[in-house]
Amino acid sequence: MVLTDFSVNSGAVFTEAIGNDRLDLLTDYPFTRLANLLAPITPRANVAPILLTVGEPQHTPPSIIEETLRATASGWNKYPPVGGTPEFRAAVGDWLARRYELPAGLLHADSSVLPLSGTREALFMLALLAVPTQKAGRQPAVLMPNPFYAPYEGAAVMAGAEPVFLSATRETGFLPDLDALTPELLERTALFYLCTPANPQGAAATPAYLAKAIGLARQYGFVLAVDECYAEIWLDTPPVGALQVAVSLPHEDGKPWANLLVFHSLSKRSSAAGLRSGFVAGDPALIGRFSRLRSYGCAGMPLPILAASTALWRDEAHVEENRAAYRAKFAAAEAELGGRYGYYRPAGGFFLWLEVGNGEEAAKRLWAEGAVRVLPGAYLSRNNPGEANPGEAFIRVALVQDADTVAQACASIVRILG
């Protein structure tokens, strides 16, 4: 959509939307809404702001990045290949096999892996791949948890599907209740976005849960996209992944990952959100079609970034350091917040999902009285008719600053919200 400003005789300015009217079905992006909410509020003087909104780790990125970019700078004048380099694909394939204990030689990285310039763009583009004109003679549905990562909804809507928001509350273990999905809905489902560990609640799907989701994808012929971009930020045990679960299920010969794609990112694992680097892996048939689509529309990952990413996927030391930093931050948060606002230690990710009564009001008070910036849960969720909005009573707090700053922010939360 293009916004055109018209000046009229009165001197007033109005705006007329032209172009794709599906865009008008979307709200502003969560961070734009937050900026609008807090813009009229000036925090108390002499308090340094603490920003805990964007999931952008503030840890120093590993030196591997700078070293590799310098050594491969001759690649900046080349258009990047959509499929990346064999070295990148091999590093990802080896990492997946190691991390998820895949049987040796099962994953053929050249046909099962594509580089992504950050997972957001590909999670969005995926809907263009997965959503047909009609499914079961009706408008296709795209399923997603509620609350959810905003691009899932944007993708569904812009691809002409109906986004279906599946409540993920404390009662459902903070993941959608798969048993509540009706055959009527599943028959017209084209795509299901699952996030594990979940943003914002940090819940990790069990093998049985993932097995059920994969089974449904195969039974009803839809694409299951498992967003595992927080998979490497865990406190006690590494969350199970969808690829490893799929391998253990009965499957057609040579097709362990039918209907399944998983998404991984270096933004969180390697504290490198600015590198814009991730990958998608899984069903070679889908990867092949995705590659064809991406030839038309993806930015491609520049060769120096492919080289840096290759080195990062081959290194675990910096990831372990990161996890240690998050453990310290959760310990600091727990010391202040334990026993309040439904605090719990998430299985993965780096968010606190705190039940504070009214998330928007809490966000405003925290900004006004403590210069602590958090995200109202309702900006990540939608109302379903007849149901409570599962984000309304919550705030999301991203533990992206250091442990001392986290402790200070959590102390402010308790002081201000009581």
Residue 248 CA to residue 241 CA, distance in Å, equals 12
Among 88, 95, 149, 341, binds ligand PLP (CB under 6 A): 149
Q: Contacts with ligand PLP in 311-330 (CB under 6 A)?
A: none
53, 146, 196, 199: which one contacts ligand PLP (CB under 6 A)?
199
354 is a site residue for ligand PLP (CB under 6 A) = no
Interaction between residue 197 and ligand PLP (CB under 6 A): no
Interaction of residue 273 with ligand PLP, rule CB under 6 A: yes
Piece of the chain touching ligand PLP by CB under 6 A; list 45-53, 115-123, 335-343, 378-386 = 115-123
CA neighbor of 223 nearest in space, from 108, 147, 140:
140
Piece of the chain touching ligand PLP by CB under 6 A; list 73-81, 114-122, 331-339, 382-390: 114-122
Query: Minimum Å distance from CB 43 to ligand PLP?
Result: 25
Radius of gyration of the chain (CA): 22
| Cis bond upstream, residue 62 (ω within 30) | no
Site of tokens 């509020």: 41
The region of 113-121, 137-145, 283-291, 387-395 touching ligand PLP under the rule CB under 6 A is: 113-121
Distance between CA atoms of 254 and 22, rounded to whole angstroms? 40
Instruction: Compare residues 199 and 309 and give the one whose CB is closer to ligand PLP.
Output: 199
| Single-letter amino acid, residue 416 | I
Q: How many residues bind ligand PLP (CB under 6 A)?
A: 13
Quick one: which of 265, 270, 271, 381 contacts ligand PLP (CB under 6 A)?
265
List the one residue from 57, 118, 163, 376 that touches ligand PLP (CB under 6 A): 118
For the record, the structure tokens of 310 come out as 């290759």
Q: Which of 153, 227, 283, 336 binds ligand PLP (CB under 6 A)?
A: 227
Q: How far is the CB of 7 from ligand PLP (least distance, A)?
A: 38
Told to check if 396 binds ligand PLP by CB under 6 A, we report no
Whether residue 96 contacts residue 323, with contact meaning beta carbons closer than 8 Å, is answered with no
The tokens describing 71, both together, are 């050594």
Gap between the Cα atoms of 286 and 293, Å rounded:
10
Using alpha carbons, select from 412, 342, 320 the residue that is nearest to residue 202.
Answer: 342
Q: Return the closest-CA partner of residue 347 out of 236, 208, 227, 229.
A: 236
What gap in Å lies between CA 113 and CA 169, rounded to an integer? 33
What is the distance between the alpha carbons of residues 109 and 257, in angstroms, rounded to a whole number?
13
Which one of the spans 118-126, 155-163, 246-254, 320-328 is the region binding ligand PLP (CB under 6 A)?
118-126
280 touching ligand PLP, by CB under 6 A: no
Binding site for ligand PLP (CB under 6 A): 55, 118-120, 149, 195, 199, 227, 229, 265, 267, 273, 278
